[in-house]
């Protein structure tokens, strides 16, 4: 199968349209059926896109957060409201620390400017988001290079959720490792967990990998154990939404189960994430806030008397993680913060 990385989609981008900044983003709720790029100059629309998962994935959320604040500054800037609006954006989704990190970077930039005009402030934030986009791609490519070195020739990799180009500005974290390894001819196949209930694996990872020509097999979440038992998985690589100081890692619900299975079968379990996903304020994973989402994601038509539990993330303890891959290198999870 020929590799076509030039077909990788860019998930979102703050761009210029005339004198205005606009946020362009793939509405990921429509994938794989429709690849639609929406455009807005309204910060509220950007926040709604984050809440409804049109824009998703931790690194993409970081850029979306800074971009939403840029749109607000351009639209309605009134410094009395800044703190409230920033908080509204940063709390749109609670688990991925990148969202708050992106908003805080924008706030820091604003503080550096002394008494800027609205135009100056909007222009400085626009430049910041451009820099964040470039940084994101550079970090992903660096993670790709570090992670690819961990894989053997002919590797069969299992991944959960979507930590690809669609979850970042461009290229991906866990899938960035896959792409870098595929360029070296190392990847025999990727198994994509379907990732119930929203289906990021089925709808995004499988689509993204097939689009660029990486051999991919879609599996239901409950098939991973039997694949591993058959010796069909050489490594698991996933992304992350928040990593605590001790290496405990929050990622899409189901990741913890995959890590338990990997350990039971003696398969290395790698987490690939930029340093912006590390939350140095948290001692361990028990302090990570887990987003609870609507029952309808699990059960479209309610059944009387049936309650639904729908946490969007779980925490994988550091002891189950073989290595964490960041843009700076490859680390044992417990020594991540010491570095
Ligand atoms: O709810 P989502 O789709 O935003 O969850 C995404 C994930 O859990 C990803 O694995 C994580 O953000 C890493 S993305 C590089």
Cβ of 243 closer than 6 Å to ligand 1, yes or no, is: no
Between the CA of 4 and the centroid of ligand 1 the distance, in Å, is: 24
| Cα-Cα-Cα-Cα dihedral sign, residues 76, 78, 82, 85 | negative
Helix (H), strand (E) at residue 75 = helix 58-76
**277-285: average pLDDT:** 97
Looking at domain 146-335, its CATH superfamily turns out to be Translation initiation factor eif-2b; domain 2 (3.40.50.10470)
Phi, psi of 280 (to 5 degrees): -70, -10
For Cα atoms 136, 244, 151, give the angle at the middle one, nearest 5 degrees: 60
Ligand 1 centroid, distance to 292 Cα (angstroms): 14
Q: Mean pLDDT of all residues in the chain?
A: 97
What does DSSP assign to residue 33? T
Distance CA 89, CA 47 (A): 6
User: Which pLDDT band holds residue 339 (cuts at 50, 70, 90)?
Assistant: low
For residues 156 and 153, give the distance between their C-alpha atoms in angstroms, rounded to a whole number.
9
What DSSP character marks residue 325? E
285/339 Cα distance (integer angstroms): 19
Q: Which residues pair with 330 in a beta bridge?
A: 325
Helix/strand/coil for 177: helix
Taking 60 as the threshold, does the pLDDT of residue 233 lie above it? yes
Q: What is the pLDDT of residues 10-19, one digit of tens each?
A: 999 999 999 9
Has domain 5-139 been given CATH number 1.20.120.420?
yes
Q: Which of 136, 241, 279, 314 is catalytic?
A: 241
The 37-40 sheet, strands edge to edge? 12-17, 20-26, 37-40
91-110 pLDDT, tens digit each? 999 999 999 999 999 999 99
What pLDDT shows up at residue 208? Answer: 98
Q: What residue ranges in the chain does DSSP mark as E strands?
A: 12-17, 20-26, 37-40, 155-159, 187-193, 216-219, 235-238, 242-243, 249-252, 269-272, 313-316, 323-326, 329-331
- The preferred substitution site among 64, 177, 200, 236 for testing ligand 1, maximizing ligand atoms within 8 Å of CB, is 200
Residue-wise burial string across 195-226, b where 16 or more C-beta atoms lie within 10 A, e elsewhere: bbbbbbbbbbbbbbbbbbebebebbebeebbe
Does residue 99 line the site of ligand 1, with CB under 6 A? no
Q: What is the per-residue pLDDT across 235-256, written as a single tens digit (0 to 9) for each? A: 999 999 999 999 999 999 999 9
Residue with tokens 């004198």: 19
pLDDT of 248 reads 98
The angle subtended at Cα 172 by Cα 48 and Cα 278, nearest 5°, is 75
Pairing of strands 313-316, 249-252: antiparallel
How large is the average pLDDT for residues 255-284?
98
- CA–centroid distance, 55 to ligand 1, in Å, is 10
| β-sheet with 216-219: strand ranges across | 216-219, 187-193, 155-159, 235-238, 269-272, 323-326, 329-331
pLDDT digits (tens, 9 = 90+) for 40-83: 999 999 999 999 999 999 999 999 999 999 999 998 767 789 99
| 134 part of the active site | no
Domain ranges of the chain: 5-139, 146-335
- Would the pTM of this model clear 0.95, i.e. be above it? yes
CB atoms within 10 A of CB 148: 21
Tell me if 5-139 shares its fold with 146-335.
no
Quick check: CB of 249 below 6 Å from ligand 1? no
Ligand 1, residue 252: give the atom nearest the CA.
Answer: 8
- Closest atom of ligand 1 to CA, residue 161: 10
């Amino acid at each position: 199968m020929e590799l076509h990385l030039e077909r990788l989609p860019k998930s979102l981008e703050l761009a210029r349209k005339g004198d205005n900044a606009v946020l362009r983003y793939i509405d990921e709720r429509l994938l794989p059926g429709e690849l639609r790029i929406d455009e807005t100059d309204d910060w509220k629309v950007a926040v709604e896109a984050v809440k409804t998962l049109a824009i998703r994935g931790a690194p993409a959320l970081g850029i979306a957060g800074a971009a939403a604040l840029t749109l607000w500054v351009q639209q309605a800037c009134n410094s009395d409201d800044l703190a409230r609006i920033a908080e509204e954006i940063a709390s749109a989704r609670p688990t991925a620390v990148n969202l708050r990190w992106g908003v805080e970077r924008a706030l820091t930039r604003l503080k550096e400017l002394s008494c800027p005009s609205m135009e100056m402030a909007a222009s400085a934030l626009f430049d910041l988001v451009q820099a964040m986009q470039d940084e994101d791609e550079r970090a992903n490519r660096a993670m790709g290079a570090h992670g690819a070195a961990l894989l053997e020739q002919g590797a069969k990799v299992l991944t959960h959720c979507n930590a690809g180009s669609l979850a970042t500005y461009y290229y991906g974290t866990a899938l960035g490792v896959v792409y870098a390894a595929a360029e070296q001819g190392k990847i025999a196949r990727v198994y994509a967990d379907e990732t119930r209930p929203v289906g990021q694996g089925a709808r995004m990872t499988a689509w993204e990998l097939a689009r660029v020509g990486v051999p991919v097999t879609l599996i239901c979440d409950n098939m991973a154990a039997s694949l591993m038992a058959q010796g069909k998985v050489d490594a698991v690589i996933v992304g992350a939404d928040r990593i605590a100081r001790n290496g405990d890692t929050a990622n899409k619900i189901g990741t913890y189960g995959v890590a338990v299975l990997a350990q039971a079968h003696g398969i290395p379990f790698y987490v690939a994430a930029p340093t912006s996903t590390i939350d140095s304020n948290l001692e361990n994973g028990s302090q990570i806030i887990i987003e609870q989402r609507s029952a309808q994601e699990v059960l479209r038509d309610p059944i009387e008397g049936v309650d639904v539990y729908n946490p969007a993330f779980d925490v994988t303890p550091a002891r189950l993680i073989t290595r964490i891959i960041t843009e700076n290198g490859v680390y044992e999870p417990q020594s991540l913060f010491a570095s």
